[in-house]
Copies of this chain bind each other. A is one copy, B any other.
Amino acid sequence: MDDDVPLLIPEVNPDHLELIKVQRQRRGWSGAIVTNPNCSTIALVMALAPIHQAFGAKRVVVATLQALSGAGYPGLPAIDMLGNVIPFIGGEEEKVESEPLKIMGSLVGDRIHFAECRISAHTNRVFVEDGHMVCVSVELEKKATPDEVARVLAGFSSLPQELKLPSAPERPVIVTDERDRPQPRFDRDAGNGMSAVVGRIRECPVFDIRFVVLSHNTIRGAAGAAILNAELMKAKGLLD
């Protein structure tokens, strides 16, 4: 979360890579530090950022259902997860509440203005191998119907798609209208694990809109993210 280090999701804030120039100048080196967001931040932001860009997200309440692989190996004991869920993941809620504000922030001069949005997260561990699912309720600045939100998400495309980066999925966000999807087992591999799948887009009785988003935590959320970051940096001449 350092000022001059981009927290990068190539489809969302590719312009933040400009910070590398600031970083190089300030730290006097020729390398570059770019960090991956937390894997549940990525799932959330893949869907939230296009909505934020189009309609403005003011307040967001999320609850995650996160896969075992997110805890690394060996992670949780089988005996604790048999027929159980755990409503706590150390340090996770803080990240899900803060990282998106930086990622969705605007680069102004040599610093990022954080998005003005408040996020509240409940994070839960469930007995799933891979795939973080997030239930999201959003208050919008500019009202929008579920259909309008679905269109924005389905149509979302960005620099990695334009540049046809090898690991970039054709569609960063896939919208499903099956009423009981996305599900980790069946949807995590969409776009070779690099697409987020959004479903159940509907009105929210408390805020404006709500939906469920799923993303593969070890591909889009980790290894694939690092590769896509590198591909983008290379394409922008930052690895020379």
Contacts and interface: CB of A to CB of B under 8 A. Distances in A.
Given A85-B184, A88-B200, A212-B87, A124 B65 contact: yes
B129 A126 contact: no
Query: What is the oligomeric copy number?
Result: 4
Q: Which of A77, A200, A204, A207 gathers most chain B CB within 10 Å?
A: A77
Contacts of A83: 82-83, 127-129, 184-185
B68 A73 contact: no
Contacts of A82: 68, 78, 82-83, 127-129, 185
A66 to B, nearest CB: 10
Interface residues of A, number: 52
Contacts of A137: 61, 120, 122
Contacts of A179: 88
Q: Which of A87, A124, A182 gathers most chain B CB within 10 Å?
A: A87
Contacts of A63: 63, 122, 135
Contacts of A240: none
Contacts of A61: 61, 137, 204, 206-207
Contacts of A84: 128, 183-186
Contacts of A73: 77, 79
A119 interface: yes
A205 interface: yes
Nearest to A74: B77
A104 B125 CA distance: 31
A183 to B, nearest CB: 6
Contacts of A74: 74, 77, 79-80
Nearest to A184: B84
A119 B205 contact: yes
A181 to B, nearest CB: 8
Given A82-B185, A88-B179, 4 more contacts: A61-B207, A76-B77, A85-B128, A124-B135
